[in-house]
Each structure stands twice: as structure tokens, then as C-alpha cells.
A and B are shown apart, each in its own frame.
Chain A
Amino acid sequence: MNSMILRATSRLILPAALIFSVYVLLRGHNEPGGGFIGGLIAAAGIAVHAIPRGRVSLTQLIFASPKTYIGTGLVIALASGLPAFWLAQPYLMHQWPFQAIALGTTLIFDIGVYLVVIGAVLSFLFYYLEE
């Protein structure tokens, strides 16, 4: 699908979607948001960018294969549960190493989910994109 309007607007939509997705990802700590929704927003932005440009430009845009995104995300998400073992606690129990700021393993898990969602959506997109 090669539409001039889509091509022009998607150039604006992509950065906006990516920034907004990171905002939603971080906001998920205590408000609606999180890795899944953030990932979907980012993937939607990438999809809008890729649909008028085709598969080759998508490959250039995302550097790595969607499978790498899925793998990295899964590794990060699974690893975020491991510190709990150290403290003889159940797997995936959240750890808050800093007293002052709300930065803990929950965010790491969310980042993993974020990457998995992007990878999963993009791999379906790959299948349907025209050469």
C-alpha cells in the first residue's frame, strides 16, 4: 500500500508513538499503563511506518529480527524474577533495592514484556507486509 498521505504522516507518528510508549511503560508503576500497552503502542507506530514502505525498510528500521526482540524480552522478563531466589523468596517476588525511588525488578519485567510484545506484533506484520 503506497499512499502519500500515510507515508508523510507516519514520519511524524513513529517518533511520537515511540516516546509515548516509553512514557506509558514507565507510568505503569502506579497508574494505568505498563509493558504490554507500551509495547502495543510502539508496535502500532512501527506498523504505520512500515505499511507504506514495505518489508525492507522495516528491517532497516528495527535493526534486528523480531525473533531477537522476543528472545531478549523473554530473557529480561525471566531474569527479573531471579533475584528473589537469592533472598529465599518465591520466584518473581518484586525487589526494591532503593529506598528513595520506586525502581525495582517490576520495571525490568515490564521492559521484557514491552520487547516481547513488539517482537510478536512485528513478526505477524512481517508475514503480511508486501515485499
Chain B
Amino acid sequence: MTADLLLTLPVLAPAIGVALCALAWSHPLLQRLISLAASLGLLCASVALLLAVRDGTVIATQFGGWAPPFGISFVGDMFSAAMVLITGLMAVAVGIYGLVGDVEARENAFYHVLYQGLLLGVTGAFLTGDIFNLYVWFEIMLISSFGLLSLGGTREQLDAGIKYVTLNLIATTFFLMSVAFLYGMTGTLNMADLARVIPTLENQGLVTALALMFLATFGAKAAVFPLFYWLPAAYHTASAPIVAIFAALLTKVGVYAIIRTFTLLFDGDAGYTGPIVTAVAIFTMVTGVLGAAAHFDIRRILSFHIVSQIGYMLFGIAVATPLAIGGSILYVIHHIIVKANLFLIAGVVNRAGGSFDLKQTGGLYRTMPMLGVLFLIPALSLAGLPPLSGFWSKFTVIKASLEAGHIVLATAGLAVGILTLYSMIKIWNEAFWKAAPDQSGQTMRRWQADRRARIIMLSPVVVLAAITLTIGLFAEPFVDYSLRAGEQLLDKSAYIDAVFGAPAQVTEARP
């Protein structure tokens, strides 16, 4: 397949999904089929993309055939291909999981259109090579997530929606403002062209100031300290599949944007930005994990853990060695799978045990020992215990930070790992181990009677847990891929050549 097809199909699949689901708005069953087919299409397209770039080639395409840097470029390298693949995987897993529960209510409210719209925005953001276009994908992602969050229209969701919408809108508006300043300084918006132009600018101090503006806007998206407040205020109000796809993808787009811009555009003044990112990473990890310790609602505990784990993904930019960046990439991949799985399990706990509130559930290990094991795999992986995926990703980032002499950062990382374990044990104790509350027998019987719901909800959980185990037990290829992707990020010339080396096709002027 050509680079054009490889890079277009991952975006086209969810785009067609949006269009057809909107067209079939009055037929929920048809929408369901279209949505699943589009997610599968995204998965297949992303596998093809990964196979094409795994040997270290960078491919690029120019939308509409406009020559770079004037048109919109799409670029696929090892990092973005891995992110798109994981998006496809999540799209299918969560898409299947979303077929039970209050699915009828969701489908009447445009669920599938918004779901595909979210995937469209996320894949677009991963693949684009144009910073203004990145803003557009961010907005597509945001407006879909606004819709998904307030889908049920309960009082809780409306309240959460107001805070989520307002804070995120301010963040993206700031992003646009930063893009305007960047354009004012460089006269270009194509990221490959920016990478060429920025080092030649006279006023590098201004570049550093701009880098910090971008760090703030992407940081707000990625939910880092001190800009994370919108996340724990909103995530726990959405239903399980929606919050799972949010937890898997939304903040990670922010992390992706930070890693991409700070390796490609703003790597000039790492001596100044490095310590700032280090401090942000430490505070993010610590505040997130302490916030989680205070809560007893599974979704709120896990929401705070998203914040806490984002800190580890910033190690790459804080330490800025090839090993650290590779470790960050591995961390993002591992985290998406594990975190989505934990939220999916939280949904199962709610359905089988009757509540998201840990105080009102219990005894699940007695009735469903398999679920207990399925919970322990991602939970212990999140805490970083061997031989699971979390161990290798934590090991890589902490090794990298120790090698570079970041003792405080490494210590914070290890301590937060222990506190994460505390939170996971809390969920285990309350939901699985302690005796079941009196009134929970009825929900349990209903759950055990509903075989279809059990299969649909548990199969994605099993698959994701199996992937976590695979990354843990056969870590070699995954670690190797991430490290090579990290090295590729540091070699900017490949990215620039891919964009500008492409045959420049210019649309001929027509009457």
C-alpha cells in the first residue's frame, strides 16, 4: 500500500463511521454495526501502518496534494503508529463492552456518532504533521467528549460537564493563541518546517517562552499538576465504557503532543525546560496518588490514578535521554491498556456488585474468583509489580532517570508506585475480599442470570489482561520497539526528510 492510503485509512475509517452513524440516526442496531465495523477498520488500518513503519522508516502524505509546507501533512513514524494501533485496539475493546448496560439510552442520544468522532479526533491528532491541524483534531476530540460526557443528562453529569467544558475550552483557546504566536515568529505551521526554522531564529528566549506556553496548554490536556483539576471533577460521572475510552485516550493525546513538540520543535533549551518538567512530573505523581487515597468510589480512585500516572510519562521530557523517551513511550502504551481495563472492571463491579462505591460492595472474590484474578493483573501492573507490563515500563523510566542523575525524580517514582499499590489493595479489600453487604445478593443473581452481558463485558477485559501479561512476560520486542521509537524521535532529520522528500504535487491551476 502507498503511504497515502496507509496514513489516510486510520482517519477515514472513523470519519466514515461518523458519517454513516449520523445518517442512520434512527436505527440504533444499524449504528451499532457501523460503529463496530468502523472500529475494526481502524484496527486493521493501524496494524498495516505499524507494519509499514516498524523498521524505522517515516512515511508522509500531503492531503489534497498541496506541496509542503503549505498543505496539511500527515506523518507516520514508530511512535505515532504505535499510538494509532493502541487507539484501534481500545476502539474495538471498549466498543464491544459498550453493547450492554444502558446502551439503548446511550444510542438514542447519538452515542455511536460521538464515539467515532472521538476516535477520529484522537487518530488525527496522532498522525498530523501540522500544528494548526493538531488544534482542529483536538477540537473534534473535545466536542465529541463533551457530548459523551453529558450523554445521560443527569444532574451530576451536567454539573461535571460545565466544569469539563469550560476548563478544556480555555485550554484549547490558549493552544490556538500559542499557535498564533508561533506562526508570528516563524511564518509556518508545518511541524517539519518548524523543526527546520526554529533553530535558526534569532530570539531563542522567545522560543523558550513559547515552549512553556505549549507545555501549559498540552499539560492541561494531559492533566498534569497544577492543571489537572478538570479530570477528577468530571470523569466519574460518565458511564463505564465512556469513562474507559476517556481514560485510555484523552489525556494521552496531551502526553503525545508534549513528547512530539518537545522532541521535534522545542528541544533547544532543555536545560531550562527540563527542571520545570521534572518538578511538574513529581508533583503530578504525588498529588494524584494522594488524591486517590482519600476516595472510596472506584471511578474516583482510578481517575486520580490517571493523573498520578501521567507523571511517569513526563520522565522522557524531564530526563531527555533516548532511554527515557523510549521508556515514556512504553509507559504510555502500557498505561492505556491497563487503565482502560481497570475502568472496564469497575463497570463489571458496579453491575455485579451493585455500586461503584466501595463501601456498598464486597464479597466479589467469593462469587467471582475469576474477576478477582482479572482485576489483579491490571491493578498490580499499574503499581509496577513484576512480571507485568507496568514493571518493565517503570523499570525503564526509573533506570533512565537514575542514569541521568535525577535521584529525586526516581525516588518519587518508586514511592508513588508503593502508594499506587496501596490504592489497588484498598479496592481489592473492599470490593473483593470483605464480606458482601446484605442487599447485594439480588444484583449478583441478576448478573449471573444474564449470560450475554457477562460474555460481552468480560471478553474485552480478558483480552486486555492477556495483552498486559504478554507485554510483561515477553517484554523484549515491546521494549525494543519503544526504545527504537524514542531514538527515532530524537533524529529529527528523518521526520523532516519524510515530509519534504515526498514528491511535491501541486494542483494545477484550472479555469
User: Do A78 and B64 touch across chains, with their CB atoms under 8 A apart?
Assistant: no
* C-alpha spacing A75/B65, complex, angstroms: 21
Q: Which of A67-104 contact B (CB under 8 A)?
A: 67-68, 70-72, 74-75, 78, 84-85, 88-94, 96, 102, 104
Set of chain B residues within 8 Å of A90, measured between Cβ atoms:
4, 8, 61-65, 505
User: Do A71 and B24 touch across chains, with their CB atoms under 8 A apart?
Assistant: yes
Q: Which of B1-22 contact A (CB under 8 A)?
A: 2, 4-5, 8, 12, 15-16, 18-22
The answer to the question of A59 belonging to the interface, with a C-beta cut-off of 8 Å to chain B, is no
Set of chain B residues within 8 Å of A74, measured between Cβ atoms:
15, 18-19, 22-23
- Closest A residue to B3 by beta carbon equals A90
From A67, A68, A70, A94, B507 is in contact (CB under 8 Å) with A94
Give, as a whole number of angstroms, the nearest-CB distance from A93 to chain B.
Answer: 4
The answer to the question of A65 belonging to the interface, with a C-beta cut-off of 8 Å to chain B, is yes
Set of chain B residues within 8 Å of A71, measured between Cβ atoms:
19-25
The answer to the question of B155 belonging to the interface, with a C-beta cut-off of 8 Å to chain A, is no
Give, as a whole number of angstroms, the nearest-CB distance from B451 to chain A.
Answer: 35
- Closest A residue to B16 by beta carbon equals A78
- Closest B residue to A119 by beta carbon equals B22
- Closest B residue to A65 by beta carbon equals B25
Set of chain B residues within 8 Å of A93, measured between Cβ atoms:
64-65, 505, 507
From B19, B21, B64, A92 is in contact (CB under 8 Å) with B64
User: Do B63 and A70 touch across chains, with their CB atoms under 8 A apart?
Assistant: no
Give, as a whole number of angstroms, the nearest-CB distance from B283 to chain A.
Answer: 41
User: Which of A67, A72, A88, A104 is the most central at the interface, judged by chain B CB atoms within 10 Å of its CB?
Assistant: A67
* C-alpha spacing A102/B19, complex, angstroms: 27
* C-alpha spacing A92/B4, complex, angstroms: 11
Given the interface pairs A67-B25, A70-B22, the reply to whether A89 lies near B510 with Cβ below 8 Å is no
- Closest A residue to B62 by beta carbon equals A90
User: Do A91 and B4 touch across chains, with their CB atoms under 8 A apart?
Assistant: yes
Give, as a whole number of angstroms, the nearest-CB distance from B81 to chain A.
Answer: 18
Chain A, interface size: which category? 20 to 34
The answer to the question of B511 belonging to the interface, with a C-beta cut-off of 8 Å to chain A, is yes
User: Do A68 and B65 touch across chains, with their CB atoms under 8 A apart?
Assistant: no
User: Which of B8, B22, B62, B511 is the most central at the interface, judged by chain A CB atoms within 10 Å of its CB?
Assistant: B22
* C-alpha spacing A68/B22, complex, angstroms: 7
Set of chain B residues within 8 Å of A78, measured between Cβ atoms:
12, 15-16, 19
Give, as a whole number of angstroms, the nearest-CB distance from B116 to chain A.
Answer: 11
User: Do A89 and B505 touch across chains, with their CB atoms under 8 A apart?
Assistant: yes
- Closest B residue to A102 by beta carbon equals B511
From A67, A70, A88, A96, B4 is in contact (CB under 8 Å) with A88
User: Do B22 and A89 touch across chains, with their CB atoms under 8 A apart?
Assistant: no
From A75, A89, A91, B19 is in contact (CB under 8 Å) with A75
- Closest A residue to B18 by beta carbon equals A74
User: Do A68 and B511 touch across chains, with their CB atoms under 8 A apart?
Assistant: no
- Closest B residue to A70 by beta carbon equals B22
Set of chain A residues within 8 Å of B12, measured between Cβ atoms:
78, 91
User: Do A72 and B65 touch across chains, with their CB atoms under 8 A apart?
Assistant: no
User: Which of A72, A78, A91, A92 is the most central at the interface, judged by chain B CB atoms within 10 Å of its CB?
Assistant: A91
Q: Which of B57-76 contact A (CB under 8 A)?
A: 61-65
Given the interface pairs A88-B4, A102-B510, A102-B511, the reply to whether A94 lies near B19 with Cβ below 8 Å is no
* C-alpha spacing A11/B12, complex, angstroms: 41
Set of chain B residues within 8 Å of A104, measured between Cβ atoms:
510
User: Do A88 and B2 touch across chains, with their CB atoms under 8 A apart?
Assistant: yes
Set of chain A residues within 8 Å of B22, measured between Cβ atoms:
67-68, 70-71, 74
Given the interface pairs A65-B25, A72-B23, A85-B4, the reply to whether A91 lies near B63 with Cβ below 8 Å is yes
User: Do A89 and B4 touch across chains, with their CB atoms under 8 A apart?
Assistant: yes
From A70, A75, A91, B61 is in contact (CB under 8 Å) with A91
Chain A 16-60, CB-CB to B under 8 Å as 1, else 0, gives 000000000000000000000000000000000000000000000
Given the interface pairs A71-B19, A71-B20, A78-B19, the reply to whether A92 lies near B25 with Cβ below 8 Å is no
User: Which of A65, A72, A92 is the most central at the interface, judged by chain B CB atoms within 10 Å of its CB?
Assistant: A92
User: Do A75 and B23 touch across chains, with their CB atoms under 8 A apart?
Assistant: yes
Set of chain A residues within 8 Å of B63, measured between Cβ atoms:
90-92
- Closest B residue to A92 by beta carbon equals B64
Give, as a whole number of angstroms, the nearest-CB distance from B153 to chain A.
Answer: 13
12 extra A-B contacts, CB within 8 A, seeds A74-B18, A90-B8, A94-B65: A67-B25, A68-B22, A68-B23, A71-B19, A75-B20, A78-B19, A85-B8, A89-B4, A90-B4, A90-B65, A92-B64, A93-B64
**A-B residue pairs in contact (CB < 8 Å), sample of 28:** A65-B25, A65-B26, A67-B25, A70-B22, A71-B20, A71-B22, A74-B19, A75-B16, A75-B23, A78-B16, A85-B5, A85-B8, A88-B4, A89-B65, A89-B505, A90-B4, A90-B8, A90-B61, A90-B64, A91-B8, A91-B61, A91-B63, A92-B64, A93-B64, A93-B65, A94-B64, A94-B65, A102-B511
Which A residues have a C-beta under 8 Å from some C-beta of B? 65, 67-68, 70-72, 74-75, 78, 84-85, 88-94, 96, 102, 104
